[in-house]
């Protein structure tokens, strides 16, 4: 039993310390996956079971002002992350080709992994969106796509920050953050506007889903370069990341087909 525990301890230390980026070791929530896993499990339990049961015999909450504030925060936060990543090498030294992670203390390299960490923190905050749906009694919007996308994104961004927070991996954050600026701007206008404004912008809603699907295609095409033997970047994580993005793309397309294509017929 002692040998089994020793092997487990050694393997755990290797996986979460020796193989990880030493720069993020002492950053909030980055030392080990325990808290992130607990948050993810708690999130799924709350939005699938606890939340709906709590709201079963209650009236929907009016969260309009809170949602306006939340969407404003998201627009600003994603804009700042986009700028941070863009100004940390993407306009100077980084290209759209294979760019290995720089684990040094170079200012740009550190700024990139900081941008990744801020992206992870923002993905943690985004979990509250599902709670908003439940409190507003919009349980139909708490779909498998919605819950899986939020939960899996949180875990994958944590893993990326822990191991590959730099180089070509940050391109994913760059694309994602600008898409989210557009997306939350739309949500903000929808929450702020009267019925006339909401009707005027509603025709653009389907293009948000299209933009997200295009994002997935761009990210997969870009990250596939890392599978080349000549590209010195961790292959194992990509073999998990790419299938996940493909799955999310399929789920988004299925949603798009059901929500919008039928309406145009």
pLDDT average per 10 residues of sequence, the chain (265 residues): 77 85 96 96 98 96 97 99 98 95 97 98 98 96 97 98 97 98 95 82 90 97 95 90 96 93 59
pLDDT value of residue 257: 93
pLDDT given at position 201? 87
Q: Could you give the CA distance from residue 258 to residue 260 in angstroms, rounded to a whole number?
A: 6
Token pair 């020793």 in the structure block, residue: 6
Active site residue 56: no
**What's the confidence (pLDDT) of residue 263?**
58
* Confidence at residue 16, expressed as pLDDT on a 0 to 100 scale: 86
Residue with tokens 């294509």: 261
pLDDT given for residue 198 in this prediction: 82
**Active-site residue identified among 56, 149, 180, 222:** 149
């Amino acid at each position: 039993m002692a040998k089994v525990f020793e092997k487990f301890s050694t393997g755990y230390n290797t996986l979460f310390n020796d193989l990880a980026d030493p720069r993020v070791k002492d950053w909030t929530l980055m030392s080990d996956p325990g808290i992130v896993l607990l948050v993810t499990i708690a999130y799924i339990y709350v939005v699938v079971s606890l939340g709906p049961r709590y709201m079963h015999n209650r009236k929907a909450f009016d969260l309009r002002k809170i949602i306006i504030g939340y969407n404003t925060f998201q627009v600003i936060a994603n804009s700042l992350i986009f700028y941070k990543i863009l100004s940390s090498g993407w306009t100077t030294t980084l290209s759209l080709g294979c760019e290995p992670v720089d684990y040094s203390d170079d200012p740009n390299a550190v700024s990139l992994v900081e941008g990744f960490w801020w992206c992870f923190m923002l993905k943690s905050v985004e979990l509250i969106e599902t709670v908003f749906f439940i409190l507003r009694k919009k349980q139909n919007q708490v779909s498998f796509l919605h819950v899986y996308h939020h939960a899996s994104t949180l875990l994958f961004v944590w893993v990326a920050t822990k191991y590959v927070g730099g180089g070509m991996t940050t391109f994913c954050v760059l694309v994602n953050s600008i898409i989210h600026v557009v997306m939350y701007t739309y949500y903000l206008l929808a929450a702020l506007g009267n019925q006339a404004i909401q009707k005027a912008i509603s025709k653009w809603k389907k293009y948000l889903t299209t933009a997200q699907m295009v994002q997935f295609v761009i990210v997969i095409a870009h990250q596939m370069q890392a599978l080349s033997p000549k590209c010195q970047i961790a292959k194992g994580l990509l073999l998990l990341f790419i299938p996940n993005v493909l799955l999310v793309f399929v789920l988004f397309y299925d949603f798009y087909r059901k929500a919008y294509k039928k309406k145009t017929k």
